Amino acid sequence: MESPRKLKIAISGGGLAGAALANSLSRLPHLHVDIYESASEFSERGQGIGMAINAQRALSRLVPQSEELFTRAGYVTMKSSRVTIGSGLHAGTKVIDVAEEHPGRMLQRAALLHELLEPVSRSTMHTNKKLVSIDEQTNDLLLTFEDGTTITTDALIGADGISGFVRSHVLGSDHGAVKPVHAGWAGVMNLVPIAKAQSKLGAEVLQQNRQYGWMGENGIMIHDSIMDGKMVQCIGTSVDRNPSEERRKHIDRDYLETSYSAWEDGPIARQMIDLLLDQDSPAVYEQWEHVNAPTYTKGLVCVMGDAAHAMTPWQGSGAATALEDAVILSTLLAQVDSPDQLRRAFQVYDAVRRPRSQQIAESSRKTGRILSGIDENIGLDPIKMHDALKDRWAFIHDFDLDGHINDALTMLHASG
């Protein structure tokens, strides 16, 4: 008797979301998974990435040896994320330590991507494959790439980022939620050796292995250790009063000193400005996000990660939310053994994941206003800030992932 053919799953996008999903799906024997990256190599932009406890739980469901993965990627455990006021009357006042009971981990984005892709067969990883057309056929999809090549696949999962092509197919190219919008902040990053950071910030602070978030008038400054504690990531993000369509804009000392003019008498701004400028070509990057989409799926196509719900970074949950997406998709696809079940699996994924991910995105946006001192009801009052922030991460970190998985399975089987 001839065994049934494997279901063909295409993933568009080789960043962290697509890599995590490919890693998990590649272990399902009834699936053949190909991952298509538009760039010439699989790579991750940015420097450090925080993995809160919910992200760690999700990764453990996707990768059987997740602890070994973290170790190889050179993670640093954060004792907490300490929020301190950086400007104004209360400069230097600690507001709150977030995630003391469930410490997060910091690691380099590129190192995490490398580890996620390491077990994936190279024969299923394709570069220079920019998707330009998705044609829905009777029982499958015809995908066309910019280089003129085509493939047929049973299903497509868009993990192609905030400006990815797959979102426009799912929503329709003229839908108001397709294109990303300005989030309201712009930030500069730099990665510096630990010794250099210690000379500016003080050895005692960096020895504590905390993530420090400094809140002040119209801005936020963050520093944390990564790469086994050998490097320190520095970030300075200010409220963007004049948003530009330029994603990257060269800056100088005058830009940062103007952005943080109200911080100059505080405990951190001068040191951080020096560290942020200590690179060949310092630049500021606009922050973008998505308006909530009415759906994450259309037929045999769905979106995940930033392609579904690009969000601001103020609750450190962009990557964690993408990993949760991957957990639910891999859970559902493990139950699918014929092409005619794929549409329903994606509908269940949408029903389960969209409320959770959009709640996080909305909460993150509001948290950013608090952290940058522009919430008109809170300002830079440390007591009001503490009260506003103390419970903002509970629904994210204490999330019942097992219950979420069971909800998805119950819904899938109820439909069958």
pLDDT tens digits, one per residue of 191-223: 999 999 999 999 888 888 899 999 999 999 999
User: 285 is written with which tokens?
Assistant: 């990057």
94-139 pLDDT, tens digit per residue, is 999 999 888 999 999 999 999 999 999 999 999 999 999 999 998 9
Distance (Å) of CA 96 to CA 93, 99, 236, 239, 387: 9, 10, 20, 22, 9
316-349 pLDDT, tens digit per residue, is 999 999 999 999 999 999 999 999 999 999 999 9
The pTM is what?
0.96
Residue 218 is predicted with a pLDDT of: 95
Of 329, 309, 330, 326, nearest in space to 318 by CA: 309
User: 190 is written with which tokens?
Assistant: 């730099």
Which stretch of 50-59, 137-146, 165-174, 204-213 has the lowest confidence by average pLDDT? 204-213
Q: Does domain 7-76+105-180+290-373+394-415 have CATH number 3.50.50.60?
A: yes
68 pLDDT more than 70: yes
**What crossing angle do the helices spanning 53-62 and 16-25 adopt, rounded to 10°?**
40
E strand segments, 63-163: 76-78, 81-85, 94-98, 104-108, 125-126, 131-136, 141-145, 150-153, 155-158
Which letter does DSSP use for residue 7 in this model? E
Collect all residues with Cβ–Cβ distance below 8 Å to 253 and sequence separation of at least 6. Answer: 273, 277
| Residue-averaged pLDDT of the chain | 95
Collect all residues with Cβ–Cβ distance below 8 Å to 307 and sequence separation of at least 6. Answer: 13, 17, 158, 159, 160, 161, 162, 164, 166, 167
Domain ranges of the chain: 7-76+105-180+290-373+394-415
Residue 1 is predicted with a pLDDT of: 45
Rounded to whole angstroms, the Cα distance separating 11 from 167 reads 13
244-278 pLDDT, tens digit per residue, is 888 899 999 999 999 999 999 999 999 999 999 99
Residue 243 is predicted with a pLDDT of: 84
> Alpha helix (H) ranges present in 202-237?
203-207
Residue 209 is predicted with a pLDDT of: 86
Judge contact between 42 and 113, C-beta under 8 A: yes
Residue 173 is predicted with a pLDDT of: 95
pLDDT above 90 as % of the chain? 89
43-52 pLDDT, tens digit per residue, is 887 688 999 9
Rounded to whole angstroms, the Cα distance separating 390 from 80 reads 13
Per-residue confidence band for 415, with pLDDT thresholds at 50, 70 and 90: low
Of 187, 310, 191, 311, nearest in space to 249 by CA: 187
Judge contact between 85 and 95, C-beta under 8 A: yes
Residue 5 is predicted with a pLDDT of: 85
